[in-house]
Amino acid sequence: MKGELALLKRIRLLRKGFVKVHICGGNYERFLNLCANHGILLWDIQPAQRGYEAKLYRKDFFSLKPLAKKCRTRVRVRRKYGLPFFLYRHRKRKVFALGLCFCGFFIFFLSCFIWNITIHGNLSISRQTLMEYLASRQITYGTRKSALDCRQLAADLRNDFPGIIWVSVRLTGTYLQIDLQENTDRPEAETENAPEASDLVADADGTIVSMITREGLPVAGKGDKVKKGDVLVKGEMEITDDADNVVNYRYCRSDADIYIRTTIPYEDTFSLAHEIITYTGRKRYAVYLKLFGRYFGVDPGLRCFADGDIMGTERQLRLPGNIYLPASAGILSAREYKRTVVAYTKEEAIALAKQKLQKFLLENEQKGVQIFENNVKIEVSTTSCRAKGTLTVIKKTGRSVRIKKSDFPQEGTNE
Amino acid sequence: MRKPAFQKVAAAMEIPADLAEKAALVELTGQNFLRVENYLGIIEYTAERLLLQCKNCRLEISGKNLLIELYAREELILRGQIEQLHYF
């Protein structure tokens, strides 16, 4: 706050214009007192060269003459500061002034549009989806700020994306910021889209190691060997009379946690010969300016290297106070490299094959698959390396399959 | 005789002396910042000494590198290494 006040004070001083004067000769203490009594504000008074140096407003300087005459002091201007002096000095540079005015007007004009959109907090809804949604509502880069209703947009986002439980839309300067929070506790899509009456069938061959049925009639149990497509839990339950005749059916959406032990094949082959890239150290740089989607810049031959890569960094230009401009500046750098073909040694090839296998196992573990047994063998020939075998895993199974209802009226209904 | 009576009334009403008698009001912050109100004028000013005329006394401020940051009719702000304040 103190810093802001000092800055405002400084801006006010420069706007009004002030001068640094040297006061000497005569009775200069009396001169200072007369200035104070006539309402002339002096600051930064310090003794200098048989007199004083002080600062005062430009308009007050013209009132000093009679006071100086009365005290027989001499007042000399040492330095001038501020906008009035700047304008006077550059009074003949009309085009410059015009350019300055045009620049100010142009920045004001640009500040009426949205030039930056950020979205935070989206997990399952991609930024592209949200940007397309905004575009469908005519909200994109370059949209007029007055055309945007933040409250309405937030409400529409909540309505059109049921997964969003909280959303905040803020417009600061030319910067549109959308913060949202998604519901991470939503039921799985499969359950939502599952048919009304369904069986659970095995999606791989294997042996059931664990089975907990929540709804439906289990037709297999722990230890049973099942094949792909076998029904594990039935969604159709027969209702019989005393003579064991089927009189009705009850249908439900089967639901169970079924884990089976199964084997999955694994094979990975790669050539021992491979290319490695060595940077030579030769670099080239280029700078560019992107204005309204068009690129302006100097290309000093970035593509002169036969083998090289080009990398770039780009930053959107902005004024203080989140005023983003439709302009970006960037630097491109091209680096030359050499390709060399080398062959893996046997140890390197085995290590690489193991690394790939570990990555595969890790990816499966992240999906909830437990690795029970690993029967993968790595063989290295003169030209290639091959990892082949099977993995015994315990994984969740059970795919919902819709049931065709029989003609019997369902129990509990009036059909 | 009027002055003591006025002073008595002011004291009875608990009016501060800087309002009632226009006594010099000196605000010293640390060793480097001094603000003076209710003074009449500067008698002498150098980088080592500032002598002020107040209504009932004179105030001498001694120190080093004394700089008058603001000089107006109502107040005076002094910066520098202040070593001594002397009323006489």
Q: Helices (DSSP H) in A246-335: which residue ranges?
A: none
Which chain A residues are within 8 Å of B44, Cβ to Cβ?
A: 29
Domain ranges of chain A: 2-88, 116-182, 274-343
Complex-level ipTM? 0.82
Q: What is the mean pLDDT of chain B?
A: 86
How do residues B18-64 score in pLDDT, each as one tens digit? 777 778 899 999 999 999 998 888 999 988 999 999 888 899 999 99
Topology of the domain comprising B22-87? Immunoglobulin-like (2.60.40)
| Gyration radius from chain B CA atoms | 14
CB contact under 8 A, B70 and A33: no
Our CA-based measurement puts residue B49 at a distance from the nearest CA of chain A, in whole angstroms, of: 11
- Cα separation, A118 vs A116, in Å, equals 7
pLDDT band, residue B11 (cuts 50/70/90): confident
CB contact under 8 A, A44 and B46: no
Nearest-CA residue of chain A relative to B74?
A: A36
Instruction: Report the pLDDT value the prediction gives residue A414, as an integer from 0 to 100.
Output: 45
Closest in A29, A43, A46 to B70, CB measured: A43
Instruction: Quote the tokens at residue B54.
Output: 């107040």
How do residues A332-345 score in pLDDT, each as one tens digit? 888 899 999 988 88
- Domain spanning A116-182 has what CATH number? 3.10.20.310
Domain ranges of chain B: 22-87
Instruction: Quote the tokens at residue A351.
Output: 């290590």
CB contact under 8 A, B70 and A41: yes
Instruction: Report the pLDDT value the prediction gives residue B85, as an integer from 0 to 100.
Output: 92
Nearest-CA residue of chain A relative to B44?
A: A29
Our CA-based measurement puts residue B14 at a distance from the nearest CA of chain A, in whole angstroms, of: 30
Which chain B residues are within 8 Å of A33, Cβ to Cβ?
A: 41-42
CB contact under 8 A, A32 and B70: no
Which chain B residues are within 8 Å of A44, Cβ to Cβ?
A: 67-69
Instruction: Report the pLDDT value the prediction gives residue A404, as an integer from 0 to 100.
Output: 75
Q: Which helix (H) or strand (E) holds A95?
A: helix A94-110
Cβ neighbours of residue B84 closer than 8 Å, sequence gap 6 or more: B60, B61, B62, B63
How do residues B53-87 score in pLDDT, each as one tens digit? 988 889 999 999 999 999 988 889 999 999 999 99
Would you tell me which CATH number, out of the four given (3.30.70.340, 3.30.710.10, 1.10.3720.10, 3.90.550.10), belongs to the domain A2-88? 3.30.70.340
Report CA B44 to chain centroid distance, whole Å.
14
pLDDT band, residue B1 (cuts 50/70/90): very low
DSSP A369: P
Closest in A43, A44, A47 to B47, CB measured: A47
Which chain B residues are within 8 Å of A31, Cβ to Cβ?
A: none
Closest in B67, B70, B72 to A46, CB measured: B67
Which chain B residues are within 8 Å of A52, Cβ to Cβ?
A: 45
CB contact under 8 A, A46 and B47: yes
Which chain B residues are within 8 Å of A39, Cβ to Cβ?
A: 73
Instruction: Report the pLDDT value the prediction gives residue A51, as an integer from 0 to 100.
Output: 85
Q: Give, in order, the Cα–Cα distances in Å from A315 to each of A117, A142, A298, A376, B70.
A: 14, 17, 17, 49, 45
Q: What is the pTM of this model?
A: 0.45
Tokens 């573990």: give the residue: A365
Our CA-based measurement puts residue A74 at a distance from the nearest CA of chain B, in whole angstroms, of: 17
Let me know the angle formed at the C-alpha of B58 by B53 and B63, rounded to the nearest 5 degrees. Answer: 100
- Cα separation, A104 vs A111, in Å, equals 11
Tens-of-pLDDT digits for all 415 residues of chain A? 556 667 888 888 899 999 999 988 878 888 889 998 898 989 999 988 788 899 999 988 988 888 888 888 888 999 999 999 988 888 888 898 899 899 999 989 988 999 888 899 888 888 889 999 998 988 888 889 988 889 999 999 999 888 888 999 998 888 899 999 988 775 554 554 545 788 888 888 889 988 898 888 888 888 888 888 888 888 888 888 888 888 888 888 888 989 999 988 899 999 999 888 999 988 888 888 888 778 888 776 777 888 888 888 988 888 776 778 888 899 988 889 999 998 888 889 999 999 999 999 898 888 888 888 888 899 888 888 999 998 899 988 888 888 877 665 555 444 4
